[in-house]
Each structure stands twice: as structure tokens, then as C-alpha cells.
Structure 1
């Protein structure tokens, strides 16, 4: 007979979202069961954000060394130890691991079960030999790499983000299928660490981002020696003497063949909905994930779903944001509403590409000629000039009465600059607010203020304003 636990909340999945829910609930003294069949910390810690940014950091260091001559720093050559770069990745994961560990969460008062979870009814989950009957459930099982049905792919040892960071030897020629953020970040990282890299994209690279600013990133990557083949779909993969041959077809109909030693599949993510017993719980779902309402509840009102498994924007910070909303709903009975308007995202290439809010096209569709697009170039920023990082641009989308509707940035530290704009959007700030703050000099953050000030560029030519100034001068 199975053991029975009756906690207030049962969380399935110990990734970013699930851990946030469990920690917050435990902090308020709520009885929580957390179930995880794999590694604590989920995809982000073990296969995603953390290892990818650690490898990018190693690659960035190599790139900085190469450009030292522009600053009068001459090096005699560069020896890249790929295994040591991988050691750095491992060390970063190890440093963060204790924060997400089973021991830490048990110390917080959470009951942690390292088992596979499966719903056996609308209010019961089976995990190993334990049944959990909770007041509320939170499904946070994340996603895995989507593997497209390319003929021959299953006959070669392809990589995904779950296996890429296990490599101890540098690939001779890495072919990447998919030119989204993951594909391009890993393309640049491996190229800077000495590998040849070819990227295949069936549509447009960085399709979700501003095309004009995205082109700056693509040009930078091409200048580093990365081959990016847009509108080129891989049709077949075969084993070869060098590893494998990818056969593709370009948008012009011409065939393309590339020999590679390794292939990385970076064609998006698939939500982890299989083998959860969702039908038994009365939870509606499809290939895009579990269906949730604006309050993140599933078709079973006792069960919430957050993060990648709920579809929508698949970012670690979205899962964390949703976890906070769910806590407010479950513990405090507060009404909640998921709003994607304020969700930022960043592609961590060099230069970085960042976005929040409405695009220029979306803003004009909603507000017509009341929209102003304001910009500032990195070339006009003193800090960027000092560091030789002048390729980049910031765009602010200003709507009625100067309210900030969106922003796009390409350039150094774009993600850090976006923090200010994310706060500004959440507080419904205007160009007046952004033009009025004091930015320390010299910083890249001055780009925001410079762009916002341009909102008032026509003010000196305003006839009425000039007349008012004339009248005021008469008073001495």
C-alpha cells in the first residue's frame, strides 16, 4: 500500500519556477511537497542558461585577447584549452548547485521526492510508492529540445543543449540547425574557441527580434567567420568520413552540402507533458503545452502550470515571474493575471540583442501616428568609444503622451541596460521620466537618457513656446 502525503501544495518539477514556488511557500510555513525525477535546478542550471553563459564567458575572454592590439596590448599567440573551458562551465554549475539542492530545500522544510510524478486522479499524484493528495498542485516540468524529423538525423550522434556541454574536445566543424538565440550564442562561443561553425536556418535568423538590429548581430557573427545560411532548410543528414554530411536547400532552390564533425539541434523547445497522467487529472494540453488561463490555472481549477510546460515565452525569468503570481493566488487568494507586455528577453551574443514591450510595427498598429521611434547610437556614447564597443544602437518606442511602449537594443551590455527600461515599463514611465534621471558619466546607461531627450528635439522650434519665453524675458 502506498504512503499518503497531504500537503497544502505539491510542486512537480524542480527547475526555476518550481523551486521558486516551493521556497516561497515554505517561507510562509506552508506544507510543500516537491517532486523531481531528474537533476535539481532543472534545465537552466544543468543544460541551459548557466552552462551556456559560462561557455560564452570563456569565449569572450578569448575574443578580448585577440583584439588587444587595438589597445596597445600585444600577445604572442593564443592557446585555447577546450577541456579547461569545459571545466569552467562545470565549476560554475557546481558553485550554483547548492542553492538549488535537495539538502537546501529540505532545510527550508520542503519534502523532496526524487521520483517520477504522475497524476492518478484530479487531486492525486503518484511518485514512486507515495501518493500525494494536495489542496493545490503546480506543474513546472519545463521543456526539452525539439528534434525535427530530418531524415538521417537519428542515425548520427547529434547534440542538443542537454549533451553539448559534455564535450571535452573542441569540434572541428560544428553545424547548428536553428538560428535563434541558443543556436547563435553557441555558434559564437564555439567559433571563438576555435571551431569552424555553420548555422542553418529554414526561415529568418533571430526571427522574433527587430530585423534591423538583429542584422547587426548577424554581421558581427559573420565577420568572426561563422557561416549563417538563412532560408536554408536541412533535408537530409548522412554519415561521412569526417563525421556527417548535411544536405540542404536554399531559398533559391539550389542544393547546399556541408561536411561537419558535429551537429547541434537548436530548433526550439517541446514542453514536457508526456507521462504526467494529465488526462487522468482532467488537464487540457497539446503539443504547445498545458492550456492555462490568464491566472495560470489549468482546466482543473486545483492545478496550475507555469514555465515552459505552459507554452508561451520560454525563459527562466518568465517561470520565476509566474511562480510569484501563483504564490499570490494560492496563499493569499489574490487575483492574478499573466501579462507578457513587461517580459524582456536578451540574446547573449556579442553584441547582445535585447527587447521588451511592443515592436515598432505593433506600436504603430495600435497608436498610429502618435508613435515616435527614438534612438541613440553606441558610436555617440563616450564609454562605448573608450572601450572600442561602438557597434550598436538603442531604440525607444514612445506612444501617446510620451509613454514608453517598448525598446530594442543591440550592443555591449544590452541586457544590463534593459533592466532600467524593464522597470520603466512596469511603472508606466514616460520620456519625461527617462530624460530627467541623472546617469553617471561615462556609462552605457546614458544611451537611454540621450534617446529620451530626443523626444523633445522639436521643442526649440515651437512658435508658441518661443513667444512664452519672450514674454518671460520682459520680466527681467
Structure 2
């Protein structure tokens, strides 16, 4: 320990002395230029001694992580030319880097590993497996500073000899270019020499090297990942899409639109979960429940309130009719007309280019494609509760068929989950006559939203008769005396039995990750298919989009990702686009609706982002009062002192429609001043957006100017 402290002290003294003695001046361009004449004399008279001095100085600079390595490289190139200069710099930089690596390891590694060992396990395992490739990538594409790589690698399990030779190899292309630039600069004797082809070529290489290095690294990565697979000589298709939900349909549509040969494979129903089990049926159910609720509260509109009678089977029949009316938008016929080949069956990846399809009609078919998009979607997550399988539980997927022929809504309904799906279903079924108990293990429902929003949603649910139990953990399901019971651990730490006729699991959705060959290809999965910024898996030609890829599970995000997946899959060899998640809106269709885009207050606080809040109460809005929906608010987060929008939360009638104006503004960099300066129809709900912008303007009005305006108008009155 004492030796380490002593070594650290010596290093600190050496670095401090370097700057105190103003030695850093000699390692600037100006300092090097001043020394160049003297150095060239030494080059002529004592070349070996000069080479040794430069070698030692370079090693010292690299070992002590001092500034000046780039200037030294140019100076060595100017003194010895490309050949000998490359030899000196290549070995000196590698030796110096290795010394820095070893000193960091000796002084810090044990203490860092002891303190953060558990957190570093994953990193250590990755370094042991792929450390040399990581290091080669960092050396080849110099995104991180030279000295930082040396020190950080010293904290990892990477072996010293591996660090040395990989560093020397990875730095070689950049070293060649810098030494060559230095050698050309030494030959600059007049202004006309600036335009010499050799010098211009050297500077062009300096400029384009990072791009060449990135391309080379991508080629190396591709060769590495595809090793062991036999690439087809030609392909049957340009693009194969697995999954006919939102992401798959849009991917196929884009592929066909740019005249690619596209095959879409769907095992079940076209349109995916959104059309058949999610967005469409749930919103149809919510609308019916809302109309029924308005009828019950007719007195709010000057009518006699009455309890409407209805046949639940007709409600469910309407939902089926709505789905049937939308189905043609996603049908096989439509996509066939668009130029997409649609195959009904189960797809399985055999290699990075080959898909085997088990046809619904019988038999199998194999197709190859240059690009493959995985758009397999997600499925309801089901908690591992003892006894759950014995009570015929439902999910957001299965409830539509299970309840289709029931004359009335479930009498006693338990909804597991307090997220958007759980809240929407709980409120809708409560309005349709069910006695609903909603169970959420977290402290509140709608955990992604601010606490005031969650509280308002809870009040709304309670007003419709939903019993909302938070801090309540489901333990098991039991049947006793012909009654189904959910046993929970309530907020007081006591077991409690909740009797139910029907239980709906709405605890979230999990990506479909098995059954189509991801394991065979070794594609990384955790909660979703692991992709990079371009939605590529470890195989650049296999991409993923939609719920299976995350990070959001929204139909509109799936469609948004599909553009990137399709374009990168078809044209990624020439130009790639990073998926943009900077402005993602979402709406929860409880009543009143909750809509959000950007940061919430909780997220801004957690991320340490300063913000101001502008707020407008919808209870003050003329149109909301006319519609007897005068509840809710608009809350806008902005950069302090500016009208730049960081996030918006709206709670109220038509919140989803109102949000669109903010999504447009944030996407295109428009602030609240632009919204304030835009004419909004009267009377409309959209006026609320203008009024909240007015609240921002009012709070940022120049108070000092008002007294002058008062004086001005007094003077004008005479």
C-alpha cells in the first residue's frame, strides 16, 4: 500500500513539475515549430541520439498521460520521414500506453474492483470475452482520448501482452497518417508548397480517417459475427418481415413502396395485437362505456338521468363489427395489391439470411433475404401466482372471445395491474356494471406519470365505483365453497381474500422472444431483442422493430421504428439512420384522458434537469364548460427563462387530440411563443393550448416595462 502511495505521489509531482516548468509549451504546435530547426540539425549530425531522445520523451508523455502526443508524432514525422518516423512512434506510443496501463493497474485496480466488484462483473466478463476487440475498436476509431483508454483498460482483467499488441495494431493506421502529415510539413519551404499534392493528400487523409476507420471497423465486426455461416450466392427476397402487426405492416409497406421484393410472414391474424386484441377493441369498449355513463348522468346536460338497459352481447358484437370495419386496412388483399407477398405460417430463422416457414396450410417453405426484420410483437405478461391456472383467468388478449357470448359483464371482476391497460379496463367494466377491484402492488397506479396525475386517475376510477387497492401484493388464487378468491397481502401487511367471478391479468406485456430461431443464431435477448441505435441485432442484416424491440410498447412507436428498420435494412450499406425517440407521445384512455410527451416533473427531477412549470386549468375553458367536461389541466415544462418545451402532460377531455400540437412543436423546435401566436378556433378545446402558453408569457413579462407603460398612457390622456 505504501509503495502504491509513493508511486502515486511521484506521478503527481512529475505531472505538476511538467506544467510548472512550462514544458507543455514545447509540445504545442508553436513550440514544435520553434524547435524544428534545431531538431533538423540534430537529425543530420546525430540521428541515432535524436531518435533515442524522441523515443524516450514520447514514452514519458504517453506513460504520464501528458498532453503533446499528437504534436510529438508530427515532429517525429518531420524529423525522420514516414519510414523511420512510423517505427519510432509506433513502438514509443505502444510502450508508453502499456506503462500507463500498468501503473493504473498497480495503483487503482485492486481498490476499484474491491469496491465495485459486483457492479463490474458484467463488464469484466465482457472484457474477458471480447476485450481485445473492444480495445481494437477504441484504438482504430479514436472517439475517446488516448490516455483515458490506457487508464480505463488498466482497471479491467485484460492481459498486458494483449493490451500491447492490440494497441500497436489498432493505432497503426492513425499513426501512419499523422507521421506522414509530419513528414510532408517538413518539406514545406514556400507558400506554393501548401498546394503540393502530397501535403494536400496528407491533410485529406487526416480528415477522412475517422470515417474510413468506422467503415473498416464495421466490416471487421460483420466478418466476425458472420463467421461460420454460409452466405447465399443470391437471395430470393430483398426483405422478409416476420410479424403482421403495426411494425411488420409498415416495414413491408415501405419495402414495397421502394420497389423491393418483400415477403411478410404472419402466423395468426393480420393487424397484430393492436387491431385484434388491444387498441381497437379496447377503445371501442371504452366508447360504449362512456356513452352509457353519460346517459346515466343526463342531468349534467339538462336531461333526466336514467339507468340504460343493454345486452352485453350487443356491446361485444359492436366491438367485433368495429374490428371487421378496420380489418381491410391491414388485410392480406390490401398488402398483396401493394406488392407484398403475404405468407400465412410460422417463421423460423435458420441462419442470418434463411427463414423456414411452417405453412398454416401444411408443409414448409424456405426463403432467403438480404435483410430480415423481426416484428413479432408482445404478449400479455402473466404473473406466476399459485392457483392462477385453475380460475380461468383472462388477459387483454383472451377476454374478447371469452366474454363475447356473455349476456352481462362479469359481476365481480378483479383487474390485476395498475398500468394504462389495467386502468382503462377497470373503468370501462365498472361503467358497464361490474363490481371491479383493481389490485396494484406499487404505491400508486400509473407509475410512469407524476403523482398528481396518478391521484387524479385514482379519484376518477373510484368515482366510477372501482375499488383501487395499491401497495397490495397478489399472493395466490384459491377456490372455496364454489367461490373464486384472490388472496392478497394488503397495505397493512395482512392477508385478505377478494372474491371474484372473473380475473383479468393486466400487469404488462412481454416481448415474444422464443419460437423463431433467435437462440439458434445467438441473438441477444433480455426483456426485448437487443438492438443498436439503427435497430440492428448482432447481425447487421437482421433488424427488430415494435414491441419485440422496445423500449416503448405503443402502436405508433412500432410504426415509427418500422421506417428505420426498413430503410436501414434495405439501404444500410450506403446510409443508416438512428432511430429517433426524442419526441414520443402516449395517451391513456381513462376518463378524463391522460396524454403526455417528453419529460414529467418526476423524470426531470431525477435526471437533474432544471425546469419551469406553466399550468392551465381546463375547468376555466369555455368549451369544456359547454360540454360539461370542465375537469383537468395542461402542464407544460419549459427550460428556465425560455419557451423551449421539455414536456407536456394533459389531463382532460380529448387530451390525446390536444397533445398533437405540442408533439409538432417539440419535433420541429417551436416554443410556447409560437403556440401563443397561433389562432385557435373558438370555442374549442384546443384553445387550452393557447391559454397555457399565455400563462407562460404572463410569468415572463418584463415587470420593469409596466411602470413606463402606465406613465406613457397617462401622458397620452393629457
TM bucket normalised to smaller = over 0.9
- Measured on the aligned residues, the alpha-carbon RMSD in Å equals 2.0
Deviations 1:339-359 (CA, angstroms, capped at 9, x unpaired): 333111111011111111011
| One of 431, 439, 444 as aligned partner of 2:672 | 431
**Partners of 1:9 and 1:138 within 8 A in 2:** yes
Paired residue for 2:9? none
Q: What SS does structure 2 have at the residue aligned with 1:14?
A: coil
| One of 282, 306, 311 as aligned partner of 1:52 | 282
Counterparts in 2 of 1:474 and 1:295: CA distance versus 1, 3 Å: farther
Q: What SS does structure 2 have at the residue aligned with 1:174?
A: strand
Counterpart Cα distance in 2 of 1:247 and 1:76: 37
Residues 1:159 and 2:389 are matched in the alignment: no
Residues 1:322 and 2:552 are matched in the alignment: no
User: 1:364-375 maps to which residues of 2 (within 5 A)?
Assistant: 364=605, 369=610, 371-375=611-615
Per-residue deviation at 1:210? 1.7
Residues 1:385 and 2:620 are matched in the alignment: no
Paired residue for 2:663? 422
Paired residue for 2:25? none
Deviations 1:169-220 (CA, angstroms, capped at 9, x unpaired): 2211110110111111111111111111100001021111121022112101
**Which of the two has higher C-alpha Rg?**
2
Counterpart Cα distance in 1 of 2:304 and 2:712: 62
Q: What SS does structure 2 have at the residue aligned with 1:337?
A: coil
If each structure's helix is expressed as a fraction of its own residues, which one has the higher value? 2
Per-residue deviation at 1:367? 6.6
TM-score normalized by the length of structure 1: 0.94
Q: What SS does structure 2 have at the residue aligned with 1:341?
A: coil
| One of 598, 603, 623 as aligned partner of 1:357 | 598
Residues 1:298 and 2:537 are matched in the alignment: yes
Q: Which moved more, 1:462-471 or 1:171-180?
A: 462-471
Counterparts in 2 of 1:368 and 1:242: CA distance versus 1, 3 Å: same
Corresponding residue pairs, total: 471
**Partners of 1:341 and 1:358 within 8 A in 2:** no
Per-residue deviation at 1:326? 2.0
Paired residue for 2:518? 278
Structure 1: gaps (5+ residues):
none
User: 1:339-354 maps to which residues of 2 (within 5 A)?
Assistant: 339-354=580-595
Residues 1:191 and 2:430 are matched in the alignment: yes
Counterpart Cα distance in 1 of 2:709 and 2:296: 57
Deviations 1:110-129 (CA, angstroms, capped at 9, x unpaired): 11111111111121111122
Counterparts in 2 of 1:473 and 1:221: CA distance versus 1, 3 Å: same
Per-residue deviation at 1:331? 3.8
Paired residue for 2:368? 133
Counterpart Cα distance in 2 of 1:434 and 1:21: 34
Per-residue deviation at 1:475? 10
Deviations 1:148-182 (CA, angstroms, capped at 9, x unpaired): 11111011100011111120322111101101111
Q: What SS does structure 2 have at the residue aligned with 1:94?
A: helix
Residues 1:403 and 2:633 are matched in the alignment: no
Per-residue deviation at 1:465? 6.3
User: 1:427-466 maps to which residues of 2 (within 5 A)?
Assistant: 427-459=668-700, 462-464=703-705, 466=707
Counterpart Cα distance in 1 of 2:555 and 2:261: 25
Residues 1:150 and 2:385 are matched in the alignment: yes
Counterparts in 2 of 1:457 and 1:337: CA distance versus 1, 3 Å: same
Structure 2: gaps (5+ residues):
1-233, 359-363
Counterparts in 2 of 1:133 and 1:465: CA distance versus 1, 3 Å: farther
Q: Which moved more, 1:86-95 or 1:386-395?
A: 386-395
Deviations 1:262-300 (CA, angstroms, capped at 9, x unpaired): 0000011111011111132342112x1100111111111
Q: Which moved more, 1:21-30 or 1:237-246?
A: 237-246
| One of 43, 49, 57 as aligned partner of 2:273 | 43
Counterpart Cα distance in 1 of 2:591 and 2:692: 22
Counterpart Cα distance in 2 of 1:339 and 1:27: 22
Q: What SS does structure 2 have at the residue aligned with 1:112?
A: strand
Counterpart Cα distance in 2 of 1:446 and 1:142: 38
Counterparts in 2 of 1:191 and 1:366: CA distance versus 1, 3 Å: closer
**Partners of 2:380 and 2:508 within 8 A in 1:** yes
Q: What SS does structure 2 have at the residue aligned with 1:99?
A: helix
Counterparts in 2 of 1:411 and 1:240: CA distance versus 1, 3 Å: farther
Deviations 1:415-445 (CA, angstroms, capped at 9, x unpaired): 1111111111111211211211111111111
Deviations 1:365-394 (CA, angstroms, capped at 9, x unpaired): 56755x210111111101111111112011
Counterparts in 2 of 1:257 and 1:365: CA distance versus 1, 3 Å: closer
Counterpart Cα distance in 2 of 1:75 and 1:463: 54
Paired residue for 2:460? 220
Paired residue for 1:33? 263
Deviations 1:274-333 (CA, angstroms, capped at 9, x unpaired): 1111132342112x1100111111111111100111131101111000012223323444
Counterpart Cα distance in 1 of 2:660 and 2:701: 32
Counterpart Cα distance in 1 of 2:454 and 2:620: 20
